Amino acid sequence: MVTIPLGLGVVAAATHRAGHSVTFLDLLGESEPAAAVRRTIAACSPEVIGISIRNIDDQNREAPRFLLDQVRPVVEACRACSSASIVLGGAGYSIFPEATLAHLGADYGVSGDGEVAFPALLARLEAGQDPFGLPGVHVAGRGCAIGPSFDEDLDVLPPWDEALGEVADPASPELWVPVQSRRGCPNDCSYCSTARIQGRSIRARAPELVVEHVARLARKGFRRFYFVDNSFNIPESHALEICRGLRGIDPRVTWRCILYPHLLREELVLAMAEAGCTEVSLGFESGSPEILRRMNKRFSPADIRAASDLLASHHIRRMGFLLLGGPGETRETVEESISFARSLALDSLKVTVGIRIYPGTPLARRAVEDGLVSAHDDLLLPRFYLAPGLDPWIYQRVAGLT
């Protein structure tokens, strides 16, 4: 799937609305990012440069790639050809705000949502005032007074659709246009970074605005959409309203989403199918009741099976995920998960071995207790939890899956 820079797009839209002149540069598919940065700076002479740090690493324990190494030359290119202040933001940034700011040598950062905080930071800089103290704003060497910034009312924030056509080709067979209908996740899975990025309470966009947004993009020729919400089905009433609205817009529109396999009712699955949902990511992560409990999942293997069967009965493809090797994992629980996943007859299954340790999570505390990482490790360089006694057996076991 091509990744579309939705986060940077919505911040650019909000910055434009705040009255600034904005130049948008998508480096995700750029073969020579530093050269593209130099060209763009020469063309627009920016006063401030915002950089979206989406990924820190690829979460691959066996052969980790530290992706900030690709961002450093971008920051250096900005410094070399411009005296503009450099501001970082994005999902990856929000997980490690201080460590990333220091690592990349930027001037400021915004943790959490960017649409209100970034224009507020620009206003302070424009007025020659100190931005320290603004919610979510980090100042190099001084930290952040109030953070992160989570915007309460998503309905007042501009969607990103005008400029989307400049970075995404509707005809691309790999394109699924990202759409966000809510932020925040109340589930507190033991390893997850989402609370740092979006907070724990759900902030939902009005269903009719989400539907209008998709309809506008469909009129521009975009046909496939991906709801990037952590759990499309929480709350269920919101998901149902979106599905009812989507049903009427264009029969050629199809979409996929991420579901939390708990309390999934047929009414919603039917509404999803009727609204054009063709595929769902089911991040159940384990088939072992004990491991699910340790991960703080609110569902059981029976819930996962019920969700999976319901989706299959409505012809929605199911992409399953296993996340193996967390605390308490043994060869037996690995086998239990593999047999369970097989028994679901999923359309595809992604298996990850070793769990990326994110700061502030129960997994991070456990990793310190187990002596896997030091309590002072900021975890920016990728560190993984893998229960003792599994390496290297688990890699051979997973490689042998067909």
Tokens for 227?
């709801």
Q: How far is the CB of 329 from ligand B12 (least distance, A)?
A: 18
Q: How far is the CB of 385 from ligand B12 (least distance, A)?
A: 14
Residue number with CB closer to ligand B12 (51 or 240): 51
Residue number with CB closer to ligand B12 (158 or 289): 158
Residue number with CB closer to ligand B12 (1 or 80): 1
Residue number with CB closer to ligand B12 (118 or 306): 118
Tokens for 266?
């047929």
Residue number with CB closer to ligand B12 (54 or 247): 54
Return the residue nearest ligand B12 (CB atom). 89
Q: Amino acid letter at 352?
A: T
Q: How far is the CB of 202 from ligand B12 (least distance, A)?
A: 12
Helix axes 266-274, 301-313, angle to 10 degrees: 40
Query: Could you write out the DSSP letters of every residue in 62-109?
Result: SS--BTHHHHHHHHHHHHHH---EEEEESHHHHHSHHHHHHHHT-SEE
Tokens for 397?
């076991």
Phi first, then psi, for residue 227 (nearest 5°) are -75, 115
Q: How far is the CB of 167 from ligand B12 (least distance, A)?
A: 11
Residue number with CB closer to ligand B12 (176 or 232): 176
Peptide bond into 392 cis (omega under 30): yes
What does the binding site for ligand B12 look like in residue numbers (CB under 6 A)? 1, 3-4, 6-8, 10-11, 28, 50-52, 54-60, 87, 89-92, 94, 110, 113-115, 118, 176, 178, 180, 193-194, 197-198, 226, 228, 230, 356
Distance CA 47, CA 44 (A): 9
Helix axes 331-343, 301-313, angle to 10 degrees: 20
Q: How far is the CB of 339 from ligand B12 (least distance, A)?
A: 25
Nearest to 222 by CA among 213, 209, 232: 213
Do 269 and 316 touch, CB atoms closer than 8 A?
yes
Helix axes 236-247, 207-219, angle to 10 degrees: 30
Nearest to 222 by CA among 252, 182, 258: 252
Q: How far is the CB of 95 from ligand B12 (least distance, A)?
A: 6
Residue number with CB closer to ligand B12 (87 or 291): 87
Q: How far is the CB of 72 from ligand B12 (least distance, A)?
A: 15
Residue number with CB closer to ligand B12 (64 or 289): 64
Q: Amino acid letter at 170?
A: P
Q: How far is the CB of 351 from ligand B12 (least distance, A)?
A: 12
Residue number with CB closer to ligand B12 (306 or 380): 380
Helices (H), 199-322: 207-219, 236-247, 266-274, 289-294, 301-313
Q: How far is the CB of 331 from ligand B12 (least distance, A)?
A: 25
Tokens for 173?
């067979």
Number of Cβ within 10 Å of residue 143's Cβ equals 12
